[in-house]
Amino acid sequence: MEEDKIESVKKGFWEKVKKVAGKVPFLPDAIALYFAMLDPDTPLKAKLTIAGALTYFLTPWDVIPDVFLGAGYLDDAAVIAAVIQAATIFIKEEHRNKAKEFLGSASKEQKI
């Protein structure tokens, strides 16, 4: 049951990333969290915490709905920042590099 949360994030994550690319400054952090969640070395408890934050990011109807430009992603950013602080020991440089690589290649392909 707990792994369902992780699977749910996997299904919707990249679609959301493409949708918000260039609009939210915390996107590299969200992507690094995603890669940390997928890492077999990350403990299940940390994976579930990360999945919870990413699920919140994926959900358009949250405390401040994402349709409100500017303010709509402030709550998402706060949740991502809190999880980065809580799970920082599980976010490896490798995860951050993968996020940078993805964003670099995506911007070249799609001109994000």
Using a 10 angstrom Cβ sphere, with 0-12 exposed, 13-18 middle and 19 or more buried, the burial of residue 57 is: buried
- 3-class DSSP assignment, residue 73: coil
Give residue-wise pLDDT tens across range 26-83. 999 999 999 999 999 999 999 999 999 999 999 876 656 555 556 667 888 999 999 9
Pick 72 or 95 by higher pLDDT: 95
Q: What's residue 104's pLDDT?
A: 87
- 87 vs 64, higher pLDDT: 87
pLDDT value for 107: 60
**In the prediction, which pLDDT does 95 show?**
97
